[in-house]
Amino acid sequence: MDAIVSALLLLLHVWTGTSGGGGTESASAERLAAKLLIAQAAQLQPGLAAQPGKTPDAGPPGKHETAGDAGAGLVKHDPQPGAPKVKGIYVTAYSAGGSRLDSLLKLLDGTELNSMVIDVKDDSGYITYPTTNPDLLKYGKPQKFIRDLPALMAKLKQHGVYPIGRIVVFKDTVLAKQHPELSFRRKDGSVWSNGKGDSFVNAYRKEVWDYNIAVAKEAAKMGFKEIQFDYVRFPEGFEKKADSLVFDKTKDSRVDTIAAFVKYAKAQLEPLGVRVSVDIFGYAASVPAAEGIGQDFVKISKNVDVISPMIYPSHYGTGWFGVKDPDTSPYATIKGAMKDTHKKLDPLGSYQPVIRPWIQDFTASWLGKGHYIPYGKAQVDAQIKALRESGVGEYLLWNANNRYTADAAY
């Protein structure tokens, strides 16, 4: 009965978008994708789905990869070797451009927090500030959520804030509607959208790559020290939709296409002196590559400066890491997630990126009575403690409403 209720709740949140995780790969989206990932993993390695938290061996290099390619003999160039250890918060464009900014700056001034991840291109696809850049206007639609971006950047610098620009890449309803040829279309020519009304653009199209990188380049010139790409993937369950949709594609796999975009983006942005980071499903560290959505934890990590797995305890299903309800055990859940992350990334050696996870500073009440607990100081402290004990000193806090725990032990 619990499994049925959980499934119904999951479907409800996928359709209504009521997840408290919102924004950076919403809770419902990740839980749905996780189910798909686990299903794929079970096909590749029978028994995995029945053993939550058990990580399959990475195995030998693939047919196109030699042992040397794993990174053991390579040294990754960090365009910002003097960057601080980031302890940051997510900030919407509304907050960054509105009155809430002052209270958030006060939080950073009074704690060890030192960074803000600010929407530059948001979950709908809007560019969040006015721009006259023709490379952006060709495909993008600017808004005035942040009316004066130079003034904002100056204020952040005044407060010693390390600014990270968040760019939602392939989930882009604005671009999909404006240029259907760059999206996924139904047989009747209409633009496909998921249950929440979100549309994605085609990761195979070079125009989409260059547009998002153009947004990133302008953000870098405006003063952002790091560009964080989010939704670097195909839609959830894409392998079940692909045959019924019309879109251009190459001979490359979805995994290789996403990895190629990340590698291309880093090559384009590194000369500007900015770091490149990518948000990725936390589950991706615990299962084999997700061909359906095109995310391979190792291939993406190899080509970025920073990797940010979203390891919110609320996003893990019953039984993961030996915990009945992971949301109620933040310490154990984060420890398990980091153990799997290190198993994936340690073989990269000196080519390993900075590991900077997203952690939870919101209450996942949608999980239902008995399956969640209120999150505050104790729960945030438990997650940070688990990270530190796992050798990870950087992290980002997520709260869709930008209301963070002020007295946590940051």
Question: Please, what are the domains in the chain?
Answer: 2-54+87-398 (3.20.20.80)
Of 322, 332, 313, 331, nearest in space to 372 by CA: 313
Q: Which residue has the tokens 């992350």?
A: 341
**N-to-C CA span, the chain:** 40
Report CA 203 to chain centroid distance, whole Å: 16
What is the Cα–Cα distance from 332 to 349, expressed in whole angstroms?
26
Average pLDDT (219-228) is 98
What is the Cα–Cα distance from 303 to 179, expressed in whole angstroms?
29
pLDDT band at 375 (very low <50, low <70, confident <90, very high): very high
Report CA 53 to chain centroid distance, whole Å: 20
Of 284, 239, 255, 240, nearest in space to 62 by CA: 255
From 58-72, 140-154, 257-271, the region with the lowest mean pLDDT:
58-72
Question: What is the pTM assigned to this prediction?
Answer: 0.85
Q: What is the largest CA-CA distance in the chain?
A: 56
Tens-digit pLDDT profile for residues 324-345: 999 999 999 999 999 999 999 9
Does the pLDDT of residue 240 top 60, yes or no?
A: yes
What is the Cα–Cα distance from 101 to 317, expressed in whole angstroms?
34
- Could you tell me the two tokens for 214? 């153009």
**Residue 313 and residue 335 in contact, taking contact as beta carbons nearer than 8 Å:** no
What is the Cα–Cα distance from 49 to 37, expressed in whole angstroms?
10
* pLDDT score recorded for residue 7: 41
